[in-house]
Each structure stands twice: as C-alpha cells, then as structure tokens.
C-alpha cells in the first residue's frame, strides 16, 4: 500500500474565542507590538496556517504609558498626509502620546501584520484603551505575559 506522506492535515480549530489582556505600562513599544503581532497571526499555535486567522482577541490597556528607549520620544515622527498639496502633517511621539495614545500602538502593530485583507481582519481583533478601563470585564480574560 502506497501512502502519500506529503499531505497537510488541517484540523478544525476550536470554536471558542480566547480573550487576552496586556498591560502596556510595563513594556517597550517595539517588543510589545512584535509579540502581539506574532500572537495575532497565530504563529504560537501548533496548527498555524499563514492564511487562517486565529480565534483570539487581544485587549491592550494603559496605552498612554507605553515606553520607548533612547530619545525616541523626542525624535520619532509620525507622518500623515491629507492628499492635498502641502497637506503633510508631522507629529512627534510625545505630542501624539498626549493627543491620541492608541494610535501609536495601532501604527506599530499594523506595520507588523500582513499587508492584505487578512492583516485588516486581524487588526479588528485588537482593542486598545488609554486607561485600565475597558468594557470586556464579563469575558474570561487571560493575562498575557510577554517576556
């Protein structure tokens, strides 16, 4: 009997959604965002497939207290353009952290996800809050330790 051993066996993943919570106060921006992107893509799972999204959601609290190393809080720039002539707006990390602290983490995580429809779907599974107040208290939250 000749059996082809070069086949990939795809198992049905669990139907329950895992909810993770991360406190951004203790972590650096790059380390935190790369680990979250890694978990979102589901690379830490044994049944990882690059074209499937995992059944998990990640809540990030205290985003306004995220840390960066060196002089990045005065030197790191975030650019956006309105599409009109002269519409380039440049903002430094410190100013953006005071104004919209969630945008810093969104920008970092989004840059580490695939640049296609899967990446856009995965980004919807991340919820970022500037304080430790969030509306997901009734879910069974698993504290995510990133070290």
Domain containing residue 51: CATH number? 3.90.1180.10
What is the C-alpha separation between 83 and 5, in angstroms, rounded?
53
Q: What is the pLDDT of residues 27-45, one digit of tens each?
A: 999 999 999 999 999 998 8
pTM here is 0.87
Q: Is the residue at 4 inside a domain?
A: no
Q: Is the residue at 81 inside a domain?
A: no
What is the C-alpha separation between 73 and 70, in angstroms, rounded?
8
Q: Is the residue at 57 inside a domain?
A: yes
Q: Is the residue at 58 inside a domain?
A: yes
Q: Is the residue at 122 inside a domain?
A: yes
Our count of domains for the chain comes to: 1
Other beta carbons within 10 angstroms of residue 106's beta carbon come to 16
What's the Rg (C-alpha) of the chain?
Answer: 18
What is the C-alpha separation between 63 and 128, in angstroms, rounded?
7
Number of H helices, E strands in the chain: 5, 6
Which of 93, 89, 84 has the alpha carbon at shortest distance from 28?
Answer: 93
Q: What is the pLDDT of residues 73-92, one digit of tens each?
A: 999 999 999 999 999 999 99
Q: What is the pLDDT of residues 91-100, one digit of tens each?
A: 999 999 999 9
Residue range of the domain that includes 134: 18-66+101-143
Q: Is the residue at 31 inside a domain?
A: yes
Q: Is the residue at 61 inside a domain?
A: yes
Three-class DSSP category at 126? strand
**pLDDT given at position 1:** 67
Residue 16 predicted with pLDDT over 90: no
**Dihedral angle computed from the Cα positions of residues 106, 131, 127 and 19, in that order, rounded to the nearest 10 degrees:** 130
Q: Is the residue at 131 inside a domain?
A: yes
Sequence-distant (≥ 6) Cβ neighbours of residue 80 within 8 angstroms: 88, 89, 91
**pLDDT given at position 71:** 97
**What DSSP assignment string belongs to 7-26?**
PPPPPPPPSSPEEEEEEGGG
């Amino acid at each position: 009997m000749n059996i082809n051993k070069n086949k990939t066996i795809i198992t049905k993943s669990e139907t329950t959604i895992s909810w993770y919570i991360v406190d951004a106060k203790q972590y650096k921006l790059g380390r935190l965002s790369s680990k979250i992107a890694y978990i979102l893509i589901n690379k830490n799972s044994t049944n990882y497939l690059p074209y499937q999204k995992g059944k998990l959601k990640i809540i990030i609290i205290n985003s306004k207290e995220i840390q960066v190393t060196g002089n990045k809080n005065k030197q790191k720039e975030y650019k956006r353009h309105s599409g009109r002539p002269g519409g380039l707006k440049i903002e430094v990390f410190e100013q953006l952290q005071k104004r919209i602290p969630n945008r810093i983490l969104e920008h970092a995580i989004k840059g580490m996800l695939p640049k296609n429809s899967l990446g856009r779907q995965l980004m919807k599974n991340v919820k970022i809050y500037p304080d430790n107040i969030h509306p997901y208290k009734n879910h069974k939250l698993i504290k995510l330790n990133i070290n």
